Amino acid sequence: MDRFESGYFWELYRDLESQFQKFLDYVPYLEGNEDAYSFKLANLMLSIGGHVDSAFKEMARFAEFLNNEDCAKIVRLLKMSDENVKKGKAPMTVPIKLALSAFEKEYNLSSTKVLFKCLPEREEVIPFHPFNPMTAAPEWWEVYNGLKHDISLNLRKANLKNSRNALAGAFLLNVRHTPALLRLFDYDIMKVQVREGRNLAKVSASVRLKRGAIQKMIKEGRTIPGFVETPLFIFNYWKHTRIHE
């Protein structure tokens, strides 16, 4: 089964978010703390980067992306990598440029925003905003790669802001990819707002929508009137689910 649809990736993500939350208990995300760095954040960034890398590979295998040429290239690379491992050779890597190109076509990752809640005012984050002009990779991905190759040289870059942005990237993939979206609907994690008298209340999306209706909206490129909220982030589907405009 698809590991997004099974909830596997969501559970992994929630553990990463929990680790970051615990760090914020000691170093809150406030102005002046964004450049604070630590070994704990470095280890967390390595885990988040590995999560995102694995998520991209799983996304490339999604049956509905069969006509996405970049996804097909990723799948071929993964098969070749498996063959290398069987022969005792080094596995192959999937270039970040290829992965970002593949899912830019599907989800407009480079411009999609999430809301970060842990501030006096909520802050918009674009986790896959291009930083490296050669690869279109975000800055936090460059930091992750640097940590993999020389942690002592790049430790200062494992700071609160880069860790937050990396986690926002992992969050985005776990709410935006279609099988993940449907699993969150099934988990009653996707919410909608309804009016109760003069107030707005958050209720499970399943109260107002059917799974089949969600699938039809996705297929037709229509706006999904829901959102997902965790202790740290919010993603509003109605702002980012129309991808065929």
* Cα–Cα distance measured from residue 1 to residue 9, given in angstroms and rounded to the nearest whole number: 12
Q: DSSP 3-state assignment of 242?
A: coil
Whether the per-residue pLDDT at 198 is higher than 70: the answer is no
**In this predicted structure, what is the pLDDT of residue 243?**
42
Q: What is the DSSP letter of 201?
A: E
Q: Kindly report, residue by residue over 139-155, the tens digit of the pLDDT.
A: 999 999 999 999 999 99
Q: Report the pLDDT averaged over residues 157-183.
A: 97
Report phi then psi at 233, rounded to 5.
-130, 155
* Cα–Cα distance measured from residue 240 to residue 49, given in angstroms and rounded to the nearest whole number: 23
- Give the distance between the most distant pair of CA atoms in the chain: 66
Q: Kindly report, residue by residue over 107-134, the tens digit of the pLDDT.
A: 999 999 999 998 778 899 999 999 999 9
Instruction: Assess contact for 172 and 127: CB atoms under 8 A.
Output: yes
Q: Kindly report, residue by residue over 32-87, the tens digit of the pLDDT.
A: 999 999 999 999 999 999 999 999 999 999 999 999 999 999 999 999 999 999 98
Ordered by start, the domain boundaries in the chain are 8-179
For the chain, the average pLDDT equals 92
Q: Which of 230, 200, 27 is nearest to 115 (CA)?
A: 230
Length of the chain: 245
The whole model's pTM is what?
Answer: 0.93
Instruction: Assess contact for 137 and 110: CB atoms under 8 A.
Output: no
**In this predicted structure, what is the pLDDT of residue 197?**
61
Strands 190-196 and 123-125, how do they pair? unpaired
**In this predicted structure, what is the pLDDT of residue 117?**
93
